[in-house]
A and B are shown apart, each in its own frame.
Chain A
Amino acid sequence: MDAHFRAFTFVDRITELDPGRQIRGRYTIPVDVPNFPATLVTEAVGQLAAWAAMAALEFKSRPVAGLATHIDFLTSVQPGQVLELSAELETLEEDAVAYHGNAQVDGRPVIALRDCVGPMLPLEQFDDPHAIRERFELLRHHGALPGTWGNVTNLALDNVGGQHGESAHATLHVPNQAPFFADHFPRRPVLPGTLLMNSNLELVASLAATLPASAGRRWVLRRVSDVKLRTFTPPGGTLQIEAKLTQLSADAASVSLETREGKRMIASARVRLEYA
C-alpha cells in the first residue's frame, strides 16, 4: 500500500476555505477499525488548519505541531462517524501559525482546540510540494476516498510503574519502522505529536486507575493544557514518560506530564481529569 496520504492522513475533504483565515472540512472514520483515539481527532483538526496555512503561503512552508493551550475532550467518537472539522487561523506569519479548531459529529462538539501554535518550516523538507498541491486540489474539489486509513496505531508502553495514587512512569520505544512514518512525513519521518500524546494519556489512565474511586464512577479525561513539543522524535528512539498527580479533589484531578529522551525534554503537558 502506498502510505502517502493514507497511513496518517485525516482530512478527506475541504468544504470551505478563506485562505489564511478559516477552513472547514470533513473526515470519515473508517467503519472497520476497532476504535479511533480522541488524539487522532485532534490530529484531524490540526491537519485541516495546516492545509489553510500551506495554501495561504503557496505551499512553501508547512506547520508542525508545537503548542496547544487547551484541548477539551467533550465526547468520544466511533468508527463510521463523519467528523465535521473547522479551524480559524488567528495569525499566520512566515515562522508560525496560531489557530483554534473544532470537531463535531452530527452537530455535537467532540473536541475543541484553543490557542494552538505551529512553527512553520520549509515544506520541501517534509514532502514533495507538487504532491501536496495535487492533494490540496483533490480535497478542494472531488475529495479523497474515505476509509483508507486502516492502521490502528498502538505504541505500547513498557516498564510501567510508579507510586500508587501519586505518579506513573513508562518507557516508550519508538519503532524503527511503522506505516505512519511514510506519511508523517515522506521526506522526514518523525513520531506524530498526537501519537505521543496518546501514549501519555494511556499512562495518565493507568495513574487514574490508582486514584480513589467508588462503584459506578470513574475518572474521565476532560482537558489537556499547555501542550509543548520541543523537538522531533525520529524512528528508533527510546522515550521516558512521567505522569505526576499535582492536585486532587473529590471531583477533579490534575496531572503533569513530561516526556524525555535521556536528559532532553521532548514534550510536556498538563491533564485535567473529572470524576464522573
Chain B
Amino acid sequence: MTITNITQEQMAAVFPKVAEIMAGALGCDAEKIKPDASLIDDLGAESIDFLDIVFRLERAFKVKIPRGKIVEEARGDLSIAQFEQDGVVTEAGLARLRHFLNEVPADRFKAPLKSADIPRLFTVATFCALVVRRQRESAAAPGPQPA
C-alpha cells in the first residue's frame, strides 16, 4: 500500500472529528467544513490557525504531526533543488505535489506555484489524509504509542 493509497472509508472515519476540530479552531459553522474546502482561501485560516488545528488534531487522535511534514512527504526522494528553485516549485515538484495531494482538486495546481503558497492547496481532506497516515505510522511503530 503506497503512502497516497488512502481509502474513502479511512478518510470518512476521521472526517467528522477533523471537521469538528476545524470548525472549533476557525470559529465557523461545521456546515462550512467540506472535504475540498481550502483552509486558506475558503475558510480564511491564518498561520496561527494551522498551529491550532495541528495541536488539536494531535490531542484528539493521539498522533504526532511534525510541522512541514506534508511538503517533506510530498517531495519524497526529490532533492530540495529538484523540488523548488528560487522559491518556485519546479515542474517535477508540481507533479509530485499533484500526486501526493490527490485529495486536492487537480485544477488548483497551477504553475508557477511559489513554495510559500503550497499551504494554499491544503484542504480539509489533506488533513484527514495526514491523520490517517500518522495513525498508520503509530500502529506500525514498535514500542509505546504516542501519548
Interface residues of A (CB under 8 A from B): 66-67, 93, 95-96, 98, 115, 117, 119, 226, 228-230, 268
Q: Which residue of A lies closest to B66 (CB)?
A: A93
Interface SS of chain B: helix, strand, loop or mixed? Answer: helix
Q: How far in angstroms is the closest Cβ of chain B from A183? A: 24
Report yes or no: B67 in contact with A95, Cβ–Cβ below 8 A.
Answer: yes
Report yes or no: B59 in contact with A115, Cβ–Cβ below 8 A.
Answer: yes
State in angstroms the CA–CA spacing of A98 and B147 once bound together: 14
State in angstroms the CA–CA spacing of A215 and B24 once bound together: 37
Q: How far in angstroms is the closest Cβ of chain B from A110? A: 25
A-B interface contact total, Cβ < 8 Å: 29
Interface size class of B (residues with CB under 8 A): 10 to 19
B51 at the interface (CB under 8 A from A): yes
Which A residues touch B27, using CB under 8 A?
268
Which B residues touch A98, using CB under 8 A?
55
B46 at the interface (CB under 8 A from A): yes
Report yes or no: B55 in contact with A119, Cβ–Cβ below 8 A.
Answer: no
Q: Which A-B residue pairs are the 5 nearest by beta carbons? A: A230-B48, A67-B52, A95-B67, A117-B55, A96-B51
Bitwise interface map of B from 59 to 99 toward A, beta carbon under 8 Å scored 1, else 0: 10000001100000000000000000000000000000000
Which B residues touch A268, using CB under 8 A?
27
Q: How far in angstroms is the closest Cβ of chain B from A248? A: 21
Q: Which residue of A lies closest to B26 (CB)?
A: A228
Name the one of B46, B48, B59, B67 contacting A93, with C-beta atoms under 8 angstroms: B67
Report yes or no: A66 in contact with B67, Cβ–Cβ below 8 A.
Answer: no
Q: Which residue of B lies closest to A229 (CB)?
A: B48
Which B residues touch A115, using CB under 8 A?
55, 59
Report yes or no: A67 in contact with B48, Cβ–Cβ below 8 A.
Answer: yes
Report yes or no: B48 in contact with A66, Cβ–Cβ below 8 A.
Answer: yes
Which A residues touch B59, using CB under 8 A?
115
Which B residues touch A117, using CB under 8 A?
51-52, 55
Which B residues touch A229, using CB under 8 A?
48
Which A residues touch B66, using CB under 8 A?
93
Name the one of A93, A95, A228 contacting B52, with C-beta atoms under 8 angstroms: A228
Report yes or no: A67 in contact with B55, Cβ–Cβ below 8 A.
Answer: yes
State in angstroms the CA–CA spacing of A96 and B67 once bound together: 9
